[in-house]
Amino acid sequence: MIAELAAKFITLEGMEGAGKSTNLAYICEFFDRQSIKYRVTREPGGTEIAELIRELLLKHHDEAIYPMTELLLIFAARAQHLEAVIKPALANGEWLISDRFTDATYAYQGEGRQLGGDKVELLEKFVQQSLRPDLTIILDVPVELSAQRVRHRGELDRFETESSDFFQRVRDAYYQRAAADPNRYSVIDASRDLQTVQSDLHAVLDDFLDTKV
Ligand code: Z5A
């Protein structure tokens, strides 16, 4: 029965190393068990052009990328992703699970880069109109643990070399957004062992299917 219900848009957020990729696999298993037709995507990225913008954003360059340039590139990638993937999938009855979406822009560009949430909000309305996720799961880890989990990966990308103050602002921004709209957001303490995190994740998804669908 659930598989026939209107498609929903679910986003997964959190700092690097919070376990988004690891837990995405768990979410897919959950939806497989429910026989829900879904598609997994990510931001920045999700289409050929948007993935090129992602590469540009993550790579180190000799020339600095200014915060406003970064913000506009992210929304350019998002505009492409929305038209090519998100809207068609939802219209086709496919649930969409995205590894990051606009909450990351509020957190990283709005607060991390200190551009302010008002600029993000303006572009969000312009690019997305009324489209917002139905459920946003924030995997929360302290800044130090996030850094520890990604440190072993070798070369760090352009975001991963930011200061701990930057990441603290990112974390705080996620918290504030979740607190302002508890109906849409679920915050999971992802510093605990994976089994405990996934048991919480299971409860959040069960609750979403029971009460919001
Ligand atoms: N960005 C932005 O600035 N503005 C925007 O609007 C958007 C994005 C959309 C790329 O994002 C960058 O884009 C991102 C912000 C910016 N940069 N930063 N920083 P991304 O999501 O593609 O990249 P990421 O955040 O760096 O993802 P990640 O490092 O791959 O993190 P993850 O997927 O959350 O973690 P993971 O790979 O699942 O886990 C990391 C390790 O921790 C791995 O070894 C796991 O086995 C381990 N792990 C995970 N969970 C646990 C638990 N519970 N216990 C122990 N170990 C664990």
For residue 20, report the distance from its CA to the centre of ligand 1, in Å.
Answer: 6
CA-nearest residue, atom 4 of ligand 1: 105
pLDDT digits (tens, 9 = 90+) for 20-69: 999 999 999 999 999 999 999 999 999 999 999 999 999 999 999 999 99
Global pTM reads 0.97
Arithmetic mean of pLDDT, 108-136:
98
- Give the position, in ligand 1's atom list, of the atom nearest the Cα of 108: 3
Q: Are 198 and 23 spatial neighbours (Cβ–Cβ below 8 Å)?
A: yes
Arithmetic mean of pLDDT, 1-13:
81
Of residues 92 and 154, more confidence is placed in 92
pLDDT, residue 1, reads 47
pLDDT, residue 109, reads 98
Say yes or no to pLDDT of 212 above 90. Answer: no
Q: How far apart are CA 1 and CA 163, in angstroms?
A: 48
Q: How far apart are CA 67 and CA 65, in angstroms?
A: 6
For residue 107 and ligand 1, the question of a CB distance below 6 A is answered with: no
